[in-house]
Amino acid sequence: MILKQENFCLHNKVRPSLLILAFTALFAGCSWQEYFVIVNETNFPVTVQYNLSETANGFGFFDSEPSAYPFNPTGDIDWSNKLNIKDIDSSKTGISVTLPSKSTLLIGSLMNEHYESHNQKDVNDRVNLKNISIIHPERAFEITGENFENYFRKRNGNIEFRINSLALQ
C-alpha cells in the first residue's frame, strides 16, 4: 500500500511539470518577426537614404542602424553573412548607405505583430519613418508614408521593396 501511495505522489509531481513544459513549448513557438527590407536585385549598387522621427508612443520599428546581407547562390537572403556598410549621414535621424548589388538592406522590424498598412491603428504611433530615397543609376524613388504601399509589399514574411528591372521601368 505504501508503494502505491508513493507512485501516486510521483504522478502528481510529474503532471504539473509536464504542463509547464507543454505551455513553455507552446508559447516559444508563437513568436515571429516581420522585416522591412530593400532588395537590390540589379547589377548596380544603390544609395538608400531615409529619415526617422521620434515616435509618439513606445519605440519605432525602423532602425537607425540598418544591416545588409548578400544573396546566397539560390538568390535568397544569406542571413548568416552580414555585409559591412557605413552610414555616411552624420545626423542622428538621417541614414545614408550604399547597398551593393544582389543584396538586401534590413531597415526595420516588427515582433509578434503583422504589418498591414502605414496607417494601421495598432502600429501607427510607432511608425518612425519620414521618407526613403533610393537612388539607382537608372531611376530614383521617393517613398513617403502616403505612397509606402505602392513600393513595399509583403512577401515571405517580409515587407519589401524589390529594385529590379520591373521597378526600374
Q: What is the pLDDT of residue 75?
A: 86
Quote the domain boundaries for residue 101: 33-163
Whole-angstrom distance, CA of residue 111 vs CA of residue 147: 23
Average pLDDT over residues 98-118: 80
Set of cell numbers at residue 160:
519589401
Query: Could you report the per-residue pLDDT of 67-89, keeping only the tens digit for each?
Result: 999 999 998 899 999 999 999 99
| Bridge partners (DSSP) listed for residue 104 | 39, 69
Tell me, yes or no, whether 7 and 75 share the same domain: no
In a domain, 168, yes or no: no
Number of domains forming the structure of the chain: 2
